Amino acid sequence: MEIHQLRYFCAVARYGTFTRAALAERVAQPSLSQQILKLESELGARLFDRMPKRARLTPFGKAFLPKAEQILRDLGEAKTEILEMAGKERGELTIGVIPTIAPYLLPWVLTSFSREHSSIVIKVLEDITPALLDLLREGSIDLAIVALPVPKEKIRCVELFRESIFAVLPARHALARRKSIQLDELKDEPFLLLKEGHCFRESTIAACRKSHMTPNVVFESGQFATILAMVAAGMGVSAVPAMAVQAVDGCRYVRIASDRTARRIGAITMRQHFETRAQRVFLAHLIQACSERA
């Protein structure tokens, strides 16, 4: 049994197809498939049901997955601990960030961090919160920056800051010149929201419910830029966090006057995972940078 075989197996389990797993592992698909077959042969059990467009874990695969993840995690942490004991700073850190934070927070945080810690290489993986939690648990990322709250089991969480939420209205909307509004004032408006899976969408819908309204969602997108363009065209209204407020012709931003709609941003790590020196340095920098920016 080879380490790369375990890595390939976990990648197929995570991405659901051999093609996507091969791309993620930067290996030819036939080679990856062959290694999985060798692993299955050694274990004496089929780990995946191969279907035309997906690979599904068999009962044997489901039982083997947490063991394989633990082996890979233990090996990675063992290597890191030896480097730490030798007084060497780990030169690489992988962080996960949700799409509604990444383009607004990371540029200035990473720029200042790289100036102060040029020996540490930061890799960034952008995905929605559920996917980042899975990657964090299996040790594929060291730290994640997400909207809070998240399930707290075995997770260490540090709140970085809170930000207001703004309604986005067409420039000619009757409420566009207001300084603030209540969410229920938009109860009859068509809403343009992020797709399902994005935590900001869920937060917006939850805030609407607290205001005793159900948003009439007429359009969904995976990008704020698309939603803002649609609002500017007069197709409806939306909501964005403060960090996403940017000048767009045809859009007006009005703060939603409720503390209950504020978004909490935090950094999360796994309690049982070894915390590297690079991770401690980056987290300290992140906390300091966010406090200065607030």
Indicate if 176 and 255 belong to the same structural domain.
yes
Indicate if 173 and 254 belong to the same structural domain.
yes
Instruction: Specify the pLDDT at position 211.
Output: 87
* CATH number, position 273: 3.40.190.10
Indicate if 10 and 124 belong to the same structural domain.
no
Instruction: Specify the pLDDT at position 86.
Output: 59
Instruction: Specify the pLDDT at position 242.
Output: 94
Indicate if 241 and 209 belong to the same structural domain.
yes
pLDDT bin (cut points 50, 70, 90) of residue 155 is very high
Number of domains in the chain: 3
Q: What is the mean pLDDT of residues 223-233?
A: 95
pLDDT bin (cut points 50, 70, 90) of residue 183 is very high
Tokens 């601990």: give the residue.
81
Nearest to 179 by CA among 166, 188, 192: 166
Domain span at residue 24 reads 3-82
Q: What is the mean pLDDT of residues 174-184?
A: 94
Indicate if 270 and 157 belong to the same structural domain.
yes
Indicate if 256 and 272 belong to the same structural domain.
no
Indicate if 216 and 95 belong to the same structural domain.
no
Indicate if 19 and 135 belong to the same structural domain.
no
Q: Tell me the pLDDT tens digit for each residue of 27-48.
A: 999 999 999 999 999 999 999 9
Indicate if 247 and 269 belong to the same structural domain.
no
pLDDT bin (cut points 50, 70, 90) of residue 153 is confident
